[in-house]
């Protein structure tokens, strides 16, 4: 073969071969680059859509919890209880219908584990968990920050039992004098965020085709659901 390429006919053949092969190779390379670029752009678009969808679901979930917290903080019956709380002990307050009101609110929202009302000294005067009535929660961060404005809470690990906690809080203000009466605290199940971002919530709500999800380790997944 080497000897053939050194001949005049061989060189002529090689020239013809290269003149035909090089454009074909260039066209294949250009086509491959174009397809790769298109796939990268499409993948980026799909992942961006997935991220936006997951973020929208998360924002809607957090907004719902905020509205519920603020709605409870504006309840007139709870305000009345706090206005007279200084003259009653925790046992008397536990027998009021405010506890039943909080229990009803808590059981109607699956992600909320407990709703409590605290006086300005941090004492729990009513709660959907009756065993917590009378406890002093004045040292909690949400108590200090929730007296000023709505506090969305931070997920933290409880030193006593190692469990994760997520508590939202909002001030309860006297409608006439604008005086701080206390605050309402919602203890939310932290696993609700996992269910939301991994897609378990949307599947549980009846999703039948594709759903955008963020995986357990943070990756974004596009999954076909049966």
What does the alpha-carbon distance between residue 115 and residue 33 come to, in Å, rounded to a whole number? Answer: 58
* 59-77 residue pLDDT tens: 888 888 899 999 999 988 8
pTM: 0.62
What percent of the chain has a predicted confidence (pLDDT) above 90? 19
| Cβ-based neighbours of 161, under 8 Å, separated by 6 or more | none
Average pLDDT, the chain: 74
What does the alpha-carbon distance between residue 57 and residue 77 come to, in Å, rounded to a whole number? Answer: 32
Tokens representing residue 105 in the block: 């609110």
> What is the torsional sign of CA 95, 97, 98, 101?
positive
Spell out the domains of the chain, with CATH numbers in brackets. Answer: 60-189 (3.30.450.20)
Residue 199's pLDDT band (cuts 50, 70, 90): low
Query: What phi-psi label fits residue 182: left (phi over 0), alpha (psi between -120 and 50 degrees) or beta?
Result: left
Q: Token pair 């536990």 is at which residue?
A: 94
């Amino acid at each position: 073969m080497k000897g053939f390429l050194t001949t005049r006919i061989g060189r002529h053949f090689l020239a013809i071969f290269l003149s035909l092969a090089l454009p074909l190779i260039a066209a294949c390379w250009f086509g491959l680059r174009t397809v790769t670029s298109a796939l990268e752009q499409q993948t980026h678009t799909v992942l961006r859509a997935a991220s936006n969808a997951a973020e929208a679901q998360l924002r809607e979930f957090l907004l719902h919890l905020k509205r519920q917290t603020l709605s409870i903080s504006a309840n007139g019956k709870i305000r009345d209880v706090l206005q007279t709380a200084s003259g009653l002990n925790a046992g008397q307050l536990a027998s009021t219908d405010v506890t039943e009101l909080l229990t009803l609110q808590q059981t109607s929202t699956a992600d909320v584990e407990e709703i409590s009302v605290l006086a300005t000294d941090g004492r729990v005067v009513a709660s959907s968990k009756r065993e917590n009535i009378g406890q002093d929660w004045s040292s909690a961060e949400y108590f200090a920050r929730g007296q000023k404005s709505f506090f969305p809470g931070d997920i933290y690990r409880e030193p006593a039992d190692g469990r994760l906690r997520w508590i939202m809080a909002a001030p309860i203000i006297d409608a006439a004098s604008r005086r701080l009466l206390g605050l309402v605290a919602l203890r939310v199940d932290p696993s609700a965020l996992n269910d939301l971002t991994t897609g378990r919530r949307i599947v549980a709500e009846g999703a039948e085709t594709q759903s955008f999800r963020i995986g357990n380790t943070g990756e974004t997944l596009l999954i076909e659901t049966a």
